[in-house]
Amino acid sequence: MAEVSRVFEVVYAEQTTPYLPDFMMYAWNPPINAIPGALFALELAGRSVGWAALRMAETDPELWLFDMFVLPEYRRHGIGTQGYVRLVQYLRRRGARRLLAGAGCEQQAGRSFLGRQGFQEIGGMITYQLNLATSARTDWGDPDALLTAQGLRFATLDRFPRHRLAERLLPLWNRTRPDQPQHWPYRPYHARRLEQEMLEPEAVSLPHSFVIVTPGGQLVALALSARLSDTCLASIYLGVDPDFRGRRLATALKQKLLAHAQGHGITLLIAENDRRTLAMHTINRRLGFTPRSERLVFAQALP
């Protein structure tokens, strides 16, 4: 077994290290500046052979998110296990009692490593995709008629003044976001955090993001999208105000996005959902999305 000579902290910045608020947000890596975290290097004979990242859950100082990577040529030598043992010692000093980690279904080595350290699978995120270029379906229904019959209308986010847009979205966000599954208590957002996480990232595309609006101007549903390439769009958030559920508004948002994408040269749509959100899985499959991958969530209680 190769002996790890050092596990040393290369970054510790409670004010600068990006915080990943939940597994749904992995791709966007929003720069939230208020949550303790650290980045470590694993060193063998003077050479960096891997790294590990830690992040405290925002409302639970006893719960930390964990990720580790070892260079392929240094795997199967016990390096990851040694590094993990030392990181657990660090976490205990910080008061950690539980850890969360993620691994793709296809990442057998990562899943096996987590199992050897005592992690148990507790959930997962399923990634769906729909190839509009090859889909036999071109008629997505008439979501505009559905909304008109209810006295509602669609609007894209680029039609709203960009200044203070986060404040405009905030009431709807805090009414819908608590229903999105996560593994620690939800803390209501403030406008600056919503701006940083969901509006500032370069990939987020306001012209391809929709809200549903009442005659009085209330926002009652949101579908937020990110442009991954000229022809690929990802749905990164969809929520409907609890008072407006049961009216097929989530389906209408998806239908509107599909028709919009076709009209703007987008051929591939991606959506990610927690596997516990059965209603959204049903909508995705009904509209022709197919599951492509699953990222599993694991937890461990520290002794």
Domain stop point among 79, 100, 124: 124
In a domain, 303, yes or no: no
pLDDT computed for residue 60 by the predictor: 78
* No. of helices (H) and no. of strands (E), the chain: 7, 12
With a CB cutoff of 8 Å and minimum separation 6, the contacts of 82 are 3, 4, 7
Are 165 and 271 contained in the same domain?
A: yes
pLDDT computed for residue 171 by the predictor: 98
Contact of 42 with 71, CB cutoff 8 Å: no
Burial tier of 130 (Cβ tally within 10 Å: 0-12, 13-18, 19+): buried
pTM of the model: 0.81
Burial tier of 136 (Cβ tally within 10 Å: 0-12, 13-18, 19+): exposed
Q: Residue 140 is encoded by which pair of tokens?
A: 């997505």
Report strand pairing: 153-156 vs 98-104.
unpaired
Are 177 and 58 contained in the same domain?
A: no
pLDDT averaged over 10-residue windows placed end to end, the chain, 303 residues? 56 35 36 60 80 78 85 84 87 90 87 92 91 77 94 98 96 93 83 89 93 98 94 93 96 95 93 86 90 90 85
Are 82 and 132 contained in the same domain?
A: no
pLDDT computed for residue 215 by the predictor: 97
pLDDT computed for residue 93 by the predictor: 87
* Type of residue found at 99: L
Domain stop point among 124, 153, 168: 124
Are 12 and 119 contained in the same domain?
A: yes
pLDDT computed for residue 94 by the predictor: 86
pLDDT computed for residue 2 by the predictor: 60
Domain stop point among 124, 144, 162: 124
Are 79 and 115 contained in the same domain?
A: yes
pLDDT computed for residue 65 by the predictor: 85
Contact of 252 with 230, CB cutoff 8 Å: no
In a domain, 241, yes or no: yes
Are 144 and 250 contained in the same domain?
A: yes
152 CA to centre of own chain:
29
Q: How many distinct structural domains can be found in the chain?
A: 2
In a domain, 12, yes or no: yes
Contact of 294 with 170, CB cutoff 8 Å: no
pLDDT computed for residue 136 by the predictor: 67
Q: List phi, psi (to 5°) of 64.
A: -125, 145
Are 136 and 218 contained in the same domain?
A: yes
Q: Which residue, among 99, 79, 113, 109, has the nearest Cα to 7 in the 3D structure? A: 79
Are 87 and 167 contained in the same domain?
A: no
77 CA to centre of own chain:
32
- CATH number of the domain encompassing residue 193: 3.40.630.30
Are 179 and 290 contained in the same domain?
A: yes
The residue whose two tokens read 């039609």 is: 159
Range of the domain at 172: 128-294
